[in-house]
Structure 1
Amino acid sequence: MSANGKQVISHSSIGLTLFSLAIGTFLLGLTEFSVMPMLPLIAETFNVSTGKVGQVISAYAAGVVVGAPLLMMLTPKMNRRSALVLFAAMIFAFNGLSALAGSFEQMVLFRFLSGLPHGAYFGTALLFGARLAPEGRSTLYMSRVFSGLTIATIVGVPLATLLAQNISWRWALVLVSAGAFIACLLLWRVLPSLEAEGEGLKKDLAVLKDPLIWPIVGIGVIGFGGVFCLYTYLADTMLSVTKVPEYYISIAMVIFGVGSTVGNWLLGHVRDRVVAKVTGMVLLYCIVLAITYVQAATNVWFLFLVVFLLGASLGLTTVIQAMLMRVAKGGHAVIGALLQCAFNSANAIGPVAGSYIFLNGYAANDTGYISAILFAGGFVMWLVSRIQGRQRNQELESVGS
């Protein structure tokens, strides 16, 4: 351990460590996003309606929101490597149980349990990567950990969907479970031992009293709702407005995944000192993009371009994480868990907000307007965070003088 608290390991070991952490985020991306295209198959298996089977998605999101703070509170002083192995073991166990579900009620329960380690693993893994990073490059290292999820949207989800459609959705979840078992072994073997950074649960939770963190969390809750609003109803837009064959939807999903990977790579190179400015610029870009989506839906190639650019906005995830870490003076594990709750809240808010379009008889591509409003809400949260930050800096300067 160096004097500044960074873990000192060789360059080659850092690469393998980040790769091991990214395997976990890959599996989480796979278990979260691959179930969406499997819903009709799950509904058929358990003989439930299309409306009811959506509870499988809601249960997972609820598990994330409950599990992230709960597990972080239960493991505040646990060695970070041990904690990550524990979370990976939970991914292994609960996805395995989901594959064996004998009733719809069991499936909903097991999906809730599957969501429990999601936020805790993400928060811990991203912070693990940040603690390995050289000064000023934590965003880059966190983006490499997050890249597992973006790659899952390109490769993992289409393959899992293919497996589910041609063999069984159960085998797709078995695949996730088996991967998590391998991840457990790899994490334990490869990761360096890293002690928890916190000073105890009470002091870690004290960071939540800092008013500066909440507008930044609000960016995740409201702003990212714009992404999920468009993503959720993209298939409806393509079928009813763009009027393309169903297989084009799979192409669009892959393009979205490629965009998210590119965006994660580009934004991952943002220096820590400018993360706040970049966040505001990306939110403005997203507002324009969402409005453009409305017209782009009439041409499939134009739509593909917008979908790619929309996917790129997911790279903002690690930028917001870095922004929070610069503001918060401690309790980074709690902050990481809180941000995962924010993103999963956005995953619920976006589709609900977008449903207004369908309930009132508008065209599916008009979800772009709802998305733009959500992105604008995120931008307002960004403005509030900037104003608060400047006020605090002025207060510190006046005290110093």
Structure 2
Amino acid sequence: MRSPSFALLALAIAAFGIGTTEFVMMGVLPQVAETFNASIPTAGNLITAYAVGVVVGAPLITATCARVPRKTLLLAMAGLFVVGNTLFALAPSLEWGVLFRFVAGLPHGAFFGAGAIVAAGLAGAGKQASAVAKMLVGLTMANVVGVPLGTLLGQQVGWRATFAVVALIGVIALLAIARWVPVMPRPQGAGLRSELAAFRRPQVWLALAIVTFGLGGVFACMSYLAPMLTDVSGFAPSSVTALLALAGLGMTAGVLVGGRLADRALMPSMYGAMALLAVVLGLFMFTAGSKVGAAMTLVAIGFAGFMIGPMVQTRVMLKAGGNPSMVSAAVQSGFNIANSIGAYLGGLVIAGGFGLLAPNAVGAVLSLVGLSLALVSGLLDRRELRSAGPDGWVGTPALPARAAVGGRNGSAADSEAAATPAS
């Protein structure tokens, strides 16, 4: 029997590659622009094209492949990832580059959607969120290792070499998934209609709104972090990469801790993470003037912000019902929308003359909105439990786990809050 640990490692390797290709473009953008004789803003369309691919690919691919076994889908997405990045490394012009970046972004959401379900299914009862977190560690480690090394490789050898290596990581992930991820039974009743039915549930929309606004607070800060650190904190521009890697360490720790806390008490942990994020973003407005204070707060922001990831991913799967693939993939769309909203609002207050630290205030407000939505979701849980009867069971488990999913008190192992009480 294959070890679940190796299967989770295979998923983490793929997540590492995906995270690297998404964010390393920001580090090599000047070299890409020079190659294609384009301005930096024009070359920035390569970043936008990838984000559009994520938003489009998550629902489209998941809907098209609703009846495809999840291991097969993971292999197909890893293959598409390799193709997209290989083609981009060979792109003859900026126009072709934009197209190939779009292709590279297509498998992003569908992979994480299916991967989160597979990770949860590999875990025992009460360990689903921790399993999802172990996959997401690959994404955070991309910011610690993949992006700095990819940027350095792009500067020393050329950006094409960076994306060739990214494609190679995809090949390694493909082989690891084929070897270590077990074939899991296709869920009963799988199909487009059952996947879309999950979006009729208010709790699903609340969970997606939580990730959009909660993580929007992180990106309001992170999008303008470089000028904050250089112009306000006094760091040399050459130090920014190391500071971003430091933030990545905070993100990695946050994902792992967030997964463990979610397994114990999902909703209370989410409330705490949202509140902590709002506090540290607000605190950054006062600590940014000190190099030590800025570095410490930066780690705290990464920690608090990415604690939310496994919590929301688990929450949305619990609330989606028996076929959560499309909703799980939609979390990645919400993540990218959060990126756009945070960056836009942060830029708006800077342009309005409120200063470079103003995006942190925007981020704190967005986090408080996310906290408010989480509280509303928790209140709905209590109402559903009261209407379910004295035993507290309100339907069938949402996560495909090796052991039965049950329990109370808002943990990730809680039963699904469906509308009809169990008989």
TM over 0.5: yes
Q: For residues 370 and 280 of structure 2, what CA distance do their matches in structure 1 show?
A: 14
Counterpart of 1:344?
336
Counterpart of 2:222?
231
Counterpart of 1:222?
213
Counterpart of 1:254?
245
For normalisation by structure 1, the TM-score amounts to 0.94
Counterpart of 1:3?
none
By how many angstroms is 1:397 displaced?
3.0
By how many angstroms is 1:195 displaced?
2.7
**Pairing 1:270–2:261 present:** yes
By how many angstroms is 1:113 displaced?
1.1
Q: For residues 161 and 364 of structure 2, what CA distance do their matches in structure 1 show?
A: 38
Q: For residues 366 and 124 of structure 1, what CA distance do their matches in structure 2 show?
A: 37
Counterpart of 1:376?
368
Q: What do residues 326-363 of structure 1 show as CA deviations (whole Å, max 9, x unaligned)?
A: 32322211121111111111111111110012211232
**Pairing 1:76–2:74 present:** no
By how many angstroms is 1:198 displaced?
5.3
By how many angstroms is 1:375 displaced?
0.7
Given residue 375 of structure 1, which amino acid in structure 2 is its aligned partner? S
Q: For residues 93 and 111 of structure 2, what CA distance do their matches in structure 1 show?
A: 28
Q: How does 1:67-146 map to 2 (within 5 A)?
A: 67-146=57-136
Q: For residues 142 and 262 of structure 2, what CA distance do their matches in structure 1 show?
A: 26
CA contact (8 A) 1:294 1:367 kept: no
Q: For residues 151 and 41 of structure 2, what CA distance do their matches in structure 1 show?
A: 20
Equivalent position SS for 2:261: coil
Given residue 384 of structure 2, which amino acid in structure 1 is its aligned partner? R
Identity of aligned residues (%): 33
Counterpart of 1:58?
48
By how many angstroms is 1:47 displaced?
2.1
By how many angstroms is 1:85 displaced?
0.7
For normalisation by structure 2, the TM-score amounts to 0.89
Q: What do residues 282-332 of structure 1 show as CA deviations (whole Å, max 9, x unaligned)?
A: 101111111111112111111111111111121311111112223232221
More off after superposition, 322-331 vs 160-169: 322-331
Counterpart of 1:44?
34
By how many angstroms is 1:145 displaced?
1.0
Given residue 301 of structure 1, which amino acid in structure 2 is its aligned partner? V
Q: 1:209 aligns with which of 195, 200, 208?
A: 200
Give me the CA root mean square deviation: 1.6
Q: What do residues 88-123 of structure 1 show as CA deviations (whole Å, max 9, x unaligned)?
A: 000000011111112111111111111100011111
Counterpart of 2:186?
196
Q: For residues 173 and 273 of structure 2, what CA distance do their matches in structure 1 show?
A: 33
Q: 1:320 aligns with which of 307, 312, 317?
A: 312
Hey, which bits of structure 1, 4+ residues long, moved more than 4 A?
398-401
Q: 1:365 aligns with which of 357, 371, 383?
A: 357
Q: 1 or 2, which has the higher helix percentage?
A: 1
Given residue 218 of structure 2, which amino acid in structure 1 is its aligned partner? V
CA contact (8 A) 1:76 1:198 kept: no
Equivalent position SS for 1:155: helix
- C-alpha change, 1:198 and 1:333, in structure 2 (3 Å) is farther
**Pairing 1:290–2:281 present:** yes
User: How many residues were matched structurally?
Assistant: 391
Q: 1:169 aligns with which of 159, 166, 178?
A: 159
Q: For residues 103 and 320 of structure 2, what CA distance do their matches in structure 1 show?
A: 30
More off after superposition, 65-74 vs 388-397: 388-397
Structure 2: segments with no counterpart, 5+ residues: 391-419
CA contact (8 A) 1:204 1:334 kept: yes
Q: What do residues 354-373 of structure 1 show as CA deviations (whole Å, max 9, x unaligned)?
A: 00122112321221111111
Q: For residues 201 and 36 of structure 1, what CA distance do their matches in structure 2 show?
A: 36
CA contact (8 A) 1:229 1:354 kept: yes
Q: For residues 389 and 180 of structure 2, what CA distance do their matches in structure 1 show?
A: 45
Given residue 278 of structure 1, which amino acid in structure 2 is its aligned partner? S
Given residue 203 of structure 1, which amino acid in structure 2 is its aligned partner? S
